[in-house]
Amino acid sequence: MNLALFDLDNTLLSGDSDFEWAQFLISKGVLDREVHEAKNQAFYDDYKAGTLDIHAFLAFQLAPLSRHDRAELDAWHREFMETRIKPIIGAPARALVQSHLDAGDLCAIVTATNSFVTGPICREFGIPHLVATVPAHEGGRFTGAPRGLPAFREGKIARVETWLEELGLWWGAFGETVFYSDSLNDLPLLAMVSHPVAVDPDDTLRAHAAAQGWPILSLR
């Protein structure tokens, strides 16, 4: 059996679900445009530059979840899927995922974006496992804080290893391990697998992939 791991934002998606979720809430009037749009863009720019403060970002991104009940959030997310996410899922990305599912590989999306936003996207791809940052909740409501280690940079490795252990598996249980990502932030996990693949990579990852002889793939 092989292991296939997929980054989500700007890899399987032709865009960033975290960024789009905040923009969606702004468009709905849930978040104040003047206050939140500039912050959303600034955090996104920091992420692309590899300088993101993940804890400051999560405080910003998870706070709106704590202000609304789950039924309302779920209704908004269904609209978000139709208007913002499905249009940025391309046929090549679906075909790539399906090729690994058809091969019988153990497949998971591994993303720093929180599981409330990404769970339905994972199901849209038919991928059975999600390793993501988990938003904490109490009494059926989100608290606005993360639970446990964010799935970001080296945190992705730790979260994947915990998930594998829960399945009674480890890295050495697989014939091949592959991870697809676009981002310099994923260099730690890319270095862990036997087959790292750069997908529509940023400039830093593209240069690193070329120097290491890693495959470079486009899903656009």
Catalytic residues: 7, 9
Helical H segments across 50-90, by residue range: 54-66, 70-80
Residue 97, number of CB atoms within 10 A of its CB:
21
Bridge partners of 67? Answer: none
Q: In what order do the strands lie in the sheet with 216-217?
A: 141-147, 129-138, 106-114, 3-6, 177-181, 195-199, 216-217
Which residue in 120, 104, 106 sits closest to 177, CA to CA?
Answer: 106
As given in the structure block, the two tokens for residue 207 are: 């240069």
Which residue in 6, 108, 21 sits closest to 57, CA to CA?
Answer: 21
Bridge partners of 114? Answer: 133
Bridge partners of 184? Answer: none
